[in-house]
Amino acid sequence: MMTDPIADMLTRIRNASLVHKKEVELSFSKIKLAIATILVDTGYLAKVEVRKDGNKSFLLLILKYNGRDSAVHHLSRISKLGRRVYVKANEIDRVINGFGMAIISTPKGLMTDTAARAAKLGGEVICEVY
């Protein structure tokens, strides 16, 4: 039984990029789709597709590479099941001085740290990417 599906998603992306796989298949959930969409919009993934196999849905993530290097160098879960991390809008740290990004779960949905700062919204820090 998997206890943290988001951590599983991030680990699968990290492992697949280390062995230069083209795509990753995950079980579908709305939060995974939202995280994957943010990663596509910010240029860390090439594409995300929702596929159906009978009555089950799954996500197909197409990884992005710059030559031989993966677009994702670091992907880590910040807020874990045993230790949730919440920040106020004015406390959101920049990831690697703005070269990376954090994904934050705000009252208005998932957004990047930059968007959350601009909207003056705080929330739970899901993960960091660079």
Task: State the DSSP string of 33-73.
Answer: HHHHHHHHHTTSEEEEEEEEETTEEEEEEEE-EETTEES-S
- CATH assignment, 5-70: 3.30.1370.30
Residues in the chain with pLDDT values less than 50: none
What is the value of pTM for the model shown? 0.95
The pLDDT of residue 122: 97
Where are the chain's structural domains? Answer: 5-70, 75-129
- Residue recorded with tokens 């934050």: 104
Q: 75-129 adopts what CATH topology?
A: Dna Ligase; domain 1 (3.30.1490)
The pLDDT of residue 98: 87
